[in-house]
Structure 1
């Protein structure tokens, strides 16, 4: 085996996933440079193993010990780029903590990412999931990224079109799943305007009596809302919102409204309707309930939690039970956001 000093074996992953699932990796490598990747994957034995690229572990559910090589991306660095007359350009390495990066941009006097404050995970995970919150998504501010291709050993630069962003989706969940993101660049508007399209955020800003909020004030408001509604992964194991908000046709939504007049729904630009998954789960009586050591967070039905010692299988079983109840009542199948490993 190469890297006798840094390649670790039978490595615990409990503190490398926000669900705090206690599983182990057969082999583990903390990646701090592209050379680490090239050298590791040049080894035939390592290259042939199952491979898991791990960032902050905030968007996955580990259901078993991992039988191959875990590559923990710990690349660091943040910088302001040249930009254009209309946009600031900023770049961060994939291993940077997302929230810290957002706060750093604000400290540089650059607004744009404030609505995405306090989302757990790393910068490298943001485009994979096309993370979003409070009326903003990664794709709205994305410029480009660099990704390592294990098949060729080369680094590719990809723009937004190549990333094929969709709702909580991207090419990296499909045929590009083998690519390893190294850094991500964003284009943030110089003529900044607050994004208060999300009603809860707009109301929270108004309640503070802020007529013209700054980017930092918007960020602080988002942080306060998230802390009020969502558990801190450092205190209670979770992966944030566990299910995507389902999108249905206007016809299906109308039929549901006839039977359930208080159904929470939001019209989409293409005429479809996005339903609130948390509302559906709550209406099925799951908020605050548990199955074994896995449970549904009492303050937000969209969040599944590890109440202490839960296995990935317990969380998976809870998710399946919720899916079955929602489907039986509403005819809608909820889709998990985290990747099951």
Structure 2
């Protein structure tokens, strides 16, 4: 099964085994299949993966759909979405229903089921702030588990699911705790939002935040359907206050944000100042408008991506003594 159309970096990977998961009635068949596969990967939108030329595993493509309101109490609502739902479409749907809290996460590529794995975040919001529970299938015990936010062990771009034995769990559905208009307040900590024209009028609405986030992302980030990419390719590194102050003294325009007693540096700024913004290495490069985004100009394979990553990491470390960590998962 060729996976080039199923990963946003458009790498021409091939999976030895492939199954499209559309509903829970397929679980007996899936449990039978895993007995003959040594490894398995769960694939959502393919937006956070770097695929090897050959994926020697069973690849499970999540295509289960459905969104439902579980409960409402005052201004609080609980909503469940199946893992195969497209993330941005789900955010849009919630806004249309008057369920708020996800608007800062608009236009993030991928699926609902992939969102907790990465603990996706943007413009002042992380998924852990709105997740109520995650429904998973445990391949080892062949049973369902419900994990609350503590069980998920969320951290910056990290979760229990990333640290669990590879291929043991499959996220089937995610429940969210959102609010209606009476309890909603905008989160506008990032300067891009504070200064956006759509957010200069009062009262600010969730729909206006949603539109502003989309406009900012569309201006800064290439559309994977037009120019293949995996979104933000490196995590924003977290450094000590002493390291931050040392860098700030040397680079007064350093972009950073306080984070849990330390500082989170803007990886895009580091890459840009290392000279990689808009620079190519063969068929891949760092995008001309956003240095944090690695793009495939056509014909790239996993080895091309790895070579570029190694050079960017090396030069950033030489300049700033900061080790960049790749965000997309290596699928082999």
TM-score by length of 1: 0.93
Counterparts of 1:270-281 in structure 2, within 5 Å, are: 270-281=260-271
SS of corresponding position for 2:271: helix
Instruction: Say whether the 8 Å CA contact 2:193–2:199 is kept in structure 1.
Output: no
CA distance in 2, matches of 1:216, 1:44: 43
Paired position in structure 1 for 2:122: 133
Number of aligned residue pairs: give it.
328
Choose from 197, 203, 213 the match for 1:222: 213
Contact 2:34-2:58 at 8 Å conserved across structures: no
Match of 2:256 in 1: 265
Separation in structure 2 between the aligned mates of residue 69 and residue 85 of structure 1, nearest angstrom: 45
Equivalences for residues 134-283 of structure 1 within 5 A: 134-175=123-164, 177=166, 178-190=168-180, 191-205=183-197, 209-268=200-259, 270-283=260-273
Cα deviation, residue 176, structure 1: 5.5
1:7 aligned partner: none
The question of 1:334 aligning with 2:294 is answered: no
Match of 2:96 among 65, 87, 107: 107
Residue number in structure 1 paired with 2:47: 58
| 1:83/1:187 contact within 8 Å kept | no
Shift of 1:36: 1.7
- Which runs of 4 or more aligned residues in structure 1 lie more than 4 Å from their structure 2 counterparts after TM superposition? none
CA distance in 1, matches of 2:176, 2:253: 39
TM-score (norm 2): 0.96
Which residue of 1 is the match for residue 290 of structure 2?
300
| Uncovered stretches (5+) of structure 2, i.e. residues with no partner | none
Structure-2 separation of matches of 1:142 and 1:87 = 13
What secondary structure sits across from 1:82 in the alignment? strand
Q: Taking structure 1 as reference, are residues 259 and 209 closer, same or farther at Cα in structure 2, changes over 3 Å only? A: closer
State the 1:63 CA deviation. 2.3
1:94 aligns with 2:83: yes
SS of aligned partner of 1:254: helix
Q: Determine the C-alpha separation between the residues in 2 that align with 1:62 and 1:27.
A: 14
> CA offset at residue 43 of structure 1?
4.2
Separation (CA, whole Å) in 2 of partners of 1:233 and 1:122? 15
* Structure 2 partner of 1:5: none
